[in-house]
């Protein structure tokens, strides 16, 4: 075990307060939020079970781990929520000046579509 790995290896949590592992050194049964999301799961209000530490660009970086056996299925959006989201995204593509629906989001800096701004579309 190298010095970097040994510095971040604390499976009991005596040094860091949480069970700590090095990069790609976590045992089976733990997953990050992103890994849970890829499996269709969410943490489900469970506390952080462990962490991974590594040396990164800005210093020591951390990724928190959750237990897989306590993870819950991800909630799915209801039809009403999906309809509201579609309506909100459609409003972001509608120009307030010419009232046309554009295939891109209206820039917030100008508040109108590229045609109304007088810029050529690419």
Domain match, 12 and 54 both: yes
Domain match, 29 and 66 both: yes
Q: How many residues does the chain have?
A: 122
Q: Could you give the C-alpha distances from 49 to 1, 11, 12, 41, 45, in angstroms and in order?
A: 23, 11, 11, 16, 12
Rounded to two decimals, what is the model's pTM? 0.70
Domain containing residue 44: 3-73
Q: Rounded distance, CA 23 to CA 4, Å? A: 10
Domain match, 30 and 7 both: yes
Q: Rounded distance, CA 109 to CA 47, Å? A: 41
Domain match, 22 and 66 both: yes
Residue 83 domain-assigned (yes or no):
yes
Residue 27 domain-assigned (yes or no):
yes
Name the one residue in this structure whose structure tokens are 């629906």: 101
Nearest alpha-carbon partner for 70 in 99, 48, 102: 48
Domain match, 100 and 45 both: no
Domain match, 58 and 103 both: no
Q: Give per-residue pLDDT as tens, 44-100.
A: 999 999 999 999 899 999 999 999 999 999 999 999 999 999 999 999 999 999 999
């Amino acid at each position: 075990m190298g010095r970097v790995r040994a510095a971040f290896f604390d499976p009991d949590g005596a040094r860091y307060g949480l069970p700590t592992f090095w990069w790609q050194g976590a045992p089976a049964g733990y997953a990050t939020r992103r890994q849970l999301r890829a499996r269709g799961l969410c943490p489900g209000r469970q506390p952080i079970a462990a962490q991974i530490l590594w040396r990164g660009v800005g210093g020591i970086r951390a990724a928190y781990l959750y237990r897989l056996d306590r993870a819950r299925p991800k909630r799915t959006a209801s039809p009403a929520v999906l309809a509201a989201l579609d309506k909100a995204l459609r409003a972001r593509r509608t120009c307030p000046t010419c009232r046309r629906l554009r295939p891109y989001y209206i820039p917030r800096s100008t508040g109108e579509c590229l045609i109304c701004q007088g810029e050529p579309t690419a």
